[in-house]
Amino acid sequence: MRRRDFITLLGGAVLPSVAHAQQSKPVIGFLNGLSADAWAPFVTAFRQGLSEDGYEEGRNVTIEYRWAENHGERLPSMVAELVRRPVAVLVVSGGDQAVLAAKAATATIPIVATIAFDPVESGLVASMNRPGGNITGVSLFSRALVAKRVEMLHDVVPTASIIGFLANPSDPTATDAKTVELAAQGLGQRIIVVNAATKSDCETAFESLARQGVGALLIQSDPFFNSVAAQLVALARRYSIAVMYGRREFAVAGGLMSYGSQLASSYRQLGDYTARILKGAKAADLPILQPAVFEFVVNLKTAKEMAITVPTGLLLRADEIIE
Domains of the chain: 3-141+263-285 (3.40.50.2300), 143-261+294-322 (3.40.50.2300)
Single-letter amino acid code for the residue at 193: V
- pTM for the predicted model, two decimal places: 0.79
Measured between alpha carbons, how far is 149 from 244 in angstroms, rounded to an integer? 7
pLDDT of 4 strictly over 60: no
Measured between alpha carbons, how far is 306 from 110 in angstroms, rounded to an integer? 48
Contact between 315 and 160 under an 8 Å Cβ cutoff? The reply is no
Contact between 233 and 239 under an 8 Å Cβ cutoff? The reply is no
Measured between alpha carbons, how far is 240 from 219 in angstroms, rounded to an integer? 15
User: Crossing angle for the helix pair 143-156 and 176-185, nearest 10 degrees?
Assistant: 50
Rounded mean pLDDT, 85-101:
93
pLDDT of 5 strictly over 70: no
Quote the pLDDT of residue 23.
52
182-219 confidence digits (pLDDT tens): 788 788 788 899 999 999 999 999 999 999 999 899 99
Query: Cβ-count burial of 232 within 10 angstroms (0-12 exposed, 13-18 middle, 19+ buried)?
Result: buried
